[in-house]
Amino acid sequence: MTIRPTALLIDFDGVLRSHDPATAELIELRHGLEPGAILAAGLEWDRQLPAITGQIKRDEWLENIAEALGVDEAVVREWDAYKGEIVPEVLRFVKDVRSAGMKVGLATNAMDDLGDVLALHGLTTQFDAVANSSEIGVHKPAPGFFRAACALVGAHPKQCLFIDDADRNIRAARAAGLSAYRYTPGDDLSYARKALGI
């Protein structure tokens, strides 16, 4: 017998928040960098992991990127000033799930400034809980991340639907006992709505 989820865990970047790559590319080209160079440097695992598990602050992460690229730190901070856009349809979905009486948790690999970013986008009150890897000390797709996220919304893994844009996170969530759905840009989330009964 299939258990209908009674709580939602949803990813931030790539699901609720999107970024226009052209914005970053203009900054990079203006400073003589290849398009995508700053993000690529930031995502190098030995640089990203300490930042998303709370070992270093975002400021130090930005400093490390600048050093790796051999550019002034101001260039990287200009790039970092762009905080993306919230996807309206996904935010509406989050609101509808909460209106239906279910808890919603943001479940994301993020840094110490996540609270500020949520405030900037007016999202501070939109979630019942926030599972931030840098606060938990464990990142997706580790099983401990999903256990902590479920606990934050007060639900057993079998009661949670997890939505993410990365296949490895989806597979890991299912292995941890959650229901999971992979989001792609433009998705109307009708399948997720049906799974939640809304």
Give the tens place of pLDDT for each residue, 155-165.
999 999 999 99
- CB of 17 closer than 8 Å to CB of 85: yes
CA 21 → CA 12, 79, 188, distances in Å?
17, 11, 22
Structure tokens at 105: 């948790």
Smallest CA-to-CA distance from 6 within 90, 93, 103 is with 103
Structure tokens at 55: 């070992």
Tell me what the mean pLDDT of segment 16-28 comes to.
96
Written as one string, the DSSP assignment of 134-165 is HHHS--TTSHHHHHHHHHHTT--GGGEEEEES
Give the tens place of pLDDT for each residue, 156-192.
999 999 999 999 999 999 999 999 999 999 999 999 9
Residue 3 reports pLDDT greater than 80: no
Q: Which residues of 105-131 are buried (b: 16+ CB within 10 A; e: fewer)?
A: bbbbbbbbbbeebbeebebeebbbbbb
pLDDT, residue 4, reads: 87
Give the tens place of pLDDT for each residue, 97-129.
999 999 999 999 999 999 999 999 999 999 999
pLDDT grade for 2, boundaries at 50, 70 and 90: low
pLDDT, residue 1, reads: 46
Model-level pTM? 0.94
